[in-house]
């Protein structure tokens, strides 16, 4: 494995490919954050699928697999799909989700039909057009990487320049509008930046899975941070690492297209983040369980105190059975008592009878939620 | 006290012939409204009366069928910096990854203009506004951790940073606790005492007389506008709310007189 890695990084062609994958990662991480923050993750999905007919048509018109026309074709048909969605939602009762679903399948379906048609043509050039479906990073050459890099730089420059305006657009566009910023232009600019990220991801990741490359890193990054700046940077890092790992995987095992390999990597990171980050599923479950244990402990302490007061003796002992009366099913009073005993608040006086210690009596006075300042 | 773009004789807000429609539905019909400088004005009306639409279309956020808006005698488009906006709290996603102080700083973006970033000065200003709404200790907090009342204070602080002369607020008291409501009213009254103009969409008819000097009663058309003691009566409320209101300002006033 190590040998393989050394070989990969020392080989010029391999280095070129990895550089391409890393740049693509940085750009899609940054740009994807905006798609996620604007709750437009699905728009990214539609746009990347909708690029397919543009790719094939561009090829049909130009007749050779030339990069620039294909990029332009892809961008045009992606933008057209967004335009159609807006047109449909603004002029009919069709809701945005249905419009997006329709646009995605219509454009992608058309793309597949055209692709099948082109592949039947007796022209050797079309070989490899289907690689745009799932991506093939091995095919990247220096010139491709240069274009990826330049387009990426453009996207990063735009994001850097309009950082504050994009923040307004994502958080409170109406408020931004009242301050004289044209939200419509900013919206178009963000769309342009997303489209450029999709276009440069076509060769490496492919139209089918490019949307995950936009969305998953941003979702993963959001789990770890509460600041937009660090979210964007972290998303870029996650996507770059996944890009490089995916490309390496796809090169190491034959017949794995790059797109799926990259997406598997980024998904692993996203899943891990969703489950184990400070706001993740397991972390929250763990915190919940801990605070529930605390509350139960406090409750048992309070009940023991209240019962004892009926005997005018705060240290009066009661049986565990009596304490458990009236508590919910699954409320293990014994467990709480043991925990209280460890803390030194109660002591066992044999035969499952329990009473408050001095420090327990002191503790119970602090329990009132009002005094605790909860 | 005269601000940057104030014309001392013109009303703070003048709305002429304002008509707004969504599709085939008329939401605002031929509104003529004048808000004098230095007044505190409630906009009331039933659900769907077009209160939010009025606030938004004064600021050009919605396409209007007809109508002219002027602020201190000049068209709104030239007077943006004279107007602060507090949108409905629920109109944004409070899970957005940003801190309280950065949210308040957004109020300075208009003065900064395109591309320029907020710096030291804007930061200080934001902290000052947070102090005014008694939220300074929350400056570095995530906005997702705020309660409803705290969210509303943050929005007010953001508007204060804009340092405008006209404040438009959309339901500033919705879903906030009594302490926050009192705090916000106090700040708004201070603004008015300093010569600013406040126009707020308001829901609770019980507090109208206590908080505001003037009122605009709306139901698609403008039912009445003027001083609270002159136009806030059951006749006008019946016109706006139909039979659905059981609130009679006269009775309350009579009770208070006794």
pLDDT single digits (tens) B137-168:
999 999 999 999 999 999 999 999 998 999 99
Tell whether B240 is covered by a domain: yes
User: B120: exposed, middle or buried (C-beta count within 10 Å: 0-12, 13-18, 19+)?
Assistant: exposed
Cα A55 to Cα A210: distance, rounded to the nearest angstrom: 15
Quick one: pLDDT at residue B252?
Answer: 66
Give per-residue pLDDT as tens, A334-345: 888 888 888 888
Q: Which residues on chain A are in Cβ contact (under 8 Å) with B115?
A: 161-162, 164-165
3-state secondary structure at position A63: coil
Q: Rounded mean pLDDT of B221-230?
A: 95
Give me the number of domains chain B comprises: 1
Give per-residue pLDDT as tens, A147-157: 889 988 999 99
Parallel/antiparallel/unpaired status of strands B74-75 and B66-71 = antiparallel
Domain range for B188? 13-91+165-257
* Vertex A213: Cα angle to A158 and A114 (nearest 5): 100
Give per-residue pLDDT as tens, A12-49: 888 888 899 999 999 999 999 999 999 888 999 999 99
Instruction: Decide if A170 touches B, using CB distance below 8 A.
Output: yes
Percentage of chain A modeled with pLDDT above 70: 93
Give per-residue pLDDT as tens, A54-65: 999 999 898 877
Percentage of chain B modeled with pLDDT above 70: 92
Tell whether B56 is covered by a domain: yes
Give per-residue pLDDT as tens, B66-124: 999 999 999 999 999 999 999 999 999 999 999 999 999 999 999 999 999 999 999 99
Instruction: Give the one of A179, A228, A231 whose C-beta lies nearest to B109's C-beta.
Output: A179
Statement: residue A5 has pLDDT above 70? no
Instruction: Decide if B169 touches A, using CB distance below 8 A.
Output: no
Residue A304: pLDDT band (50, 70, 90) is confident
Tell whether B84 is covered by a domain: yes
Q: Which residues on chain A are in Cβ contact (under 8 Å) with B118?
A: 164
Percentage of chain B modeled with pLDDT above 90: 86
Q: Do the chains contact at A225 and B144, CB–CB below 8 Å? A: no
Side-chain-facing half-sphere of B112: CA atoms under 13 Å: 21
Q: Which domains are seen in chain A, by residue range?
A: 7-279 (1.10.3470.10), 287-372 (1.10.10.10)
3-state secondary structure at position A123: coil
> Which positions ≥6 away from A369 have C-beta within 8 Å?
none
Parallel/antiparallel/unpaired status of strands B221-227 and B214-219 = antiparallel
What is the sign, positive or negative, of the torsion defined by CA atoms of A164, A33, A193, A19? positive
Statement: residue A371 has pLDDT above 70? no
Give per-residue pLDDT as tens, A88-126: 998 999 999 999 999 999 999 999 999 988 888 776 566
Mean pLDDT taken over chain A: 88
Tell whether B118 is covered by a domain: no
Q: Do the chains contact at A180 and B118, CB–CB below 8 Å? A: no
Instruction: Give the one of A180, A222, A226 whose C-beta lies nearest to B142's C-beta.
Output: A226
Instruction: Give the one of A39, A165, A177 whose C-beta lies nearest to B114's C-beta.
Output: A165
Quick one: pLDDT at residue A313?
Answer: 79
Cα-flanking dihedrals φ and ψ of residue A367, to 5°?
-75, -25
Statement: residue B258 has pLDDT above 60? no
Tell whether B141 is covered by a domain: no
Cα A177 to Cα B58: distance, rounded to the nearest angstrom: 12
> Percentages helix, strand, coil for chain A, rounded to the nearest 5?
75, 0, 20
Min Cα–Cα distance to chain A from B119, Å: 12
Statement: residue A231 has pLDDT above 90? yes
Quick one: pLDDT at residue B1?
Answer: 44
Quick one: pLDDT at residue A125?
Answer: 60
Cα A52 to Cα A210: distance, rounded to the nearest angstrom: 12
Percentage of chain A modeled with pLDDT above 90: 51
Mean pLDDT lowest for which of A216-225, A308-317, B98-107? A308-317
Min Cα–Cα distance to chain B from A315, Å: 41
Instruction: Decide if A220 touches B, using CB distance below 8 A.
Output: no
Instruction: Give the one of B56, B93, B109 whose C-beta lies nearest to A168's C-beta.
Output: B109
Q: Do the chains contact at A174 and B87, CB–CB below 8 Å? A: yes
Chain Cα centroid distance, residue B172:
7
ipTM exceeding the 0.85 mark: yes
User: A45: exposed, middle or buried (C-beta count within 10 Å: 0-12, 13-18, 19+)?
Assistant: buried
Q: Which residues of A177-216 are buried (b: 16+ CB within 10 A; e: fewer)?
A: bbbebebeebeebbbebbbbbbbbbbbbbbbbbbbbbbbb
Parallel/antiparallel/unpaired status of strands B40-44 and B197-201 = parallel
Quick one: pLDDT at residue B2?
Answer: 45
Mean pLDDT taken over chain B: 91
Residue A181: pLDDT band (50, 70, 90) is very high
Instruction: Decide if B79 touches A, using CB distance below 8 A.
Output: no
Statement: residue A1 has pLDDT above 70? no
Q: Do the chains contact at A167 and B114, CB–CB below 8 Å? A: no
Q: Which residues on chain B are in Cβ contact (under 8 Å) with A235?
A: none
* Cα–Cα separations (whole angstroms), residue B182 to A44, A134, A139, B160, B178: 45, 60, 67, 17, 6
Statement: residue A10 has pLDDT above 60? yes
Q: Which CATH number goes with the domain that contains B246?
A: 3.40.50.300
Q: Cα-atom radius of gyration of chain B, to the nearest Å?
A: 18
Residue A149 has what DSSP assignment?
H
Q: Rounded mean pLDDT of B34-42?
A: 96
Quick one: pLDDT at residue A374?
Answer: 38
């Amino acid at each position: 494995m190590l040998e393989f890695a050394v070989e990969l990084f020392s080989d010029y062609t391999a280095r070129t490919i990895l550089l391409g994958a890393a740049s693509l990662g940085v750009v899609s991480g940054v740009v994807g954050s905006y798609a996620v923050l604007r709750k437009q993750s699905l728009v990214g999905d539609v746009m990347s699928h909708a690029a397919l007919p543009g790719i094939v048509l561009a090829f049909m018109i130009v007749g050779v697999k030339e990069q620039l026309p294909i990029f332009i074709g892809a961008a045009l048909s992606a933008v057209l799909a967004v335009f159609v969605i807006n047109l449909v939602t603004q002029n009919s009762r069709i809701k945005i989700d249905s419009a997006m679903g329709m646009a995605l399948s219509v454009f992608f379906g058309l793309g597949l039909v055209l692709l099948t048609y082109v592949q039947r043509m007796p022209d050797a050039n079309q070989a490899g057009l289907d690689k745009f479906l799932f991506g093939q990073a091995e095919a990247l050459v220096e010139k491709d990487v240069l274009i990826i890099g330049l387009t990426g730089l453009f996207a990063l420059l735009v994001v850097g320049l309009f950082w504050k305006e994009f923040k307004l657009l994502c958080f409170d566009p109406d408020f931004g509008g009242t301050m004289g910023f044209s939200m419509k232009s900013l919206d178009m600019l963000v769309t342009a930046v997303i489209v450029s990220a999709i276009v440069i991801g076509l060769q490496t990741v492919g139209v089918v899975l490019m949307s995950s490359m936009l969305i998953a890193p941003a979702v993963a990054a959001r789990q770890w941070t509460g600041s937009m700046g660090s979210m964007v940077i972290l998303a870029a890092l996650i996507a770059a690492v996944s890009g490089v790992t995916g490309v390496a995987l796809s090169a190491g095992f034959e017949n794995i297209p790059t797109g799926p390999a990259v997406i598997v990597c980024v998904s692993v990171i996203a899943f891990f983040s969703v489950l184990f980050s400070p706001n993740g599923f397991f972390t929250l479950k763990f915190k919940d369980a801990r605070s529930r244990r605390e509350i139960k402990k406090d409750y048992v302490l309070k009940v023991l105190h209240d019962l004892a007061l009926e005997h005018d003796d705060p240290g009066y002992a009661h049986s565990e059975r009596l304490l458990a009366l009236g508590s919910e099913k699954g409320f293990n009073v014994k467990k709480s008592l043991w925990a209280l005993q460890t803390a030194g608040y109660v002591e066992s006086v044999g035969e499952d009878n329990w009473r408050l210690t001095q420090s327990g009596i002191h503790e119970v006075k602090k329990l009132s939620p009002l005094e605790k300042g909860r | 006290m005269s601000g940057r773009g104030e014309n001392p004789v013109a009303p703070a807000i003048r709305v002429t012939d304002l008509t707004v429609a969504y599709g085939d539905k008329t939401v605002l019909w031929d509104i003529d409204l004048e808000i004098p400088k230095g007044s505190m004005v409630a906009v009331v009306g039933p659900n769907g009366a077009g209160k939010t639409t009025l606030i938004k279309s004064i600021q050009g956020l919605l396409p209007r069928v007809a109508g002219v808006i002027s602020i201190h005698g000049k068209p709104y488009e030239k007077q943006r910096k004279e107007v602060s906006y507090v949108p409905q709290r629920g109109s944004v996603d409070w899970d957005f990854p940003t801190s309280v102080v950065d949210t308040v700083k957004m109020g300075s973006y208009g003065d900064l203009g395109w591309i320029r970033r907020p710096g030291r000065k804007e930061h200080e200003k934001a902290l000052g506004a947070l102090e005014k709404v008694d939220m300074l200790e929350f400056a570095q907090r995530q906005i997702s951790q705020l309660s409803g009342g705290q969210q509303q204070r943050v929005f007010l602080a953001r508007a204060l940073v804009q340092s405008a002369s006209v404040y438009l607020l959309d339901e500033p008291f919705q879903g906030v606790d009594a302490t926050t409501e009192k705090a916000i009213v106090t700040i708004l009254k201070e603004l008015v005492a300093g010569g600013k103009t406040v126009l707020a969409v308001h829901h609770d008819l019980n507090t109208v007389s206590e908080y505001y000097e003037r009122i605009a009663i709306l139901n698609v058309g403008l039912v009445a506008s003027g001083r609270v003691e002159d136009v806030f009566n059951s006749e006008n409320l019946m016109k706006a709310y139909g039979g659905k209101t059981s609130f009679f300002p006269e009775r309350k006033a009579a009770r208070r007189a006794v």
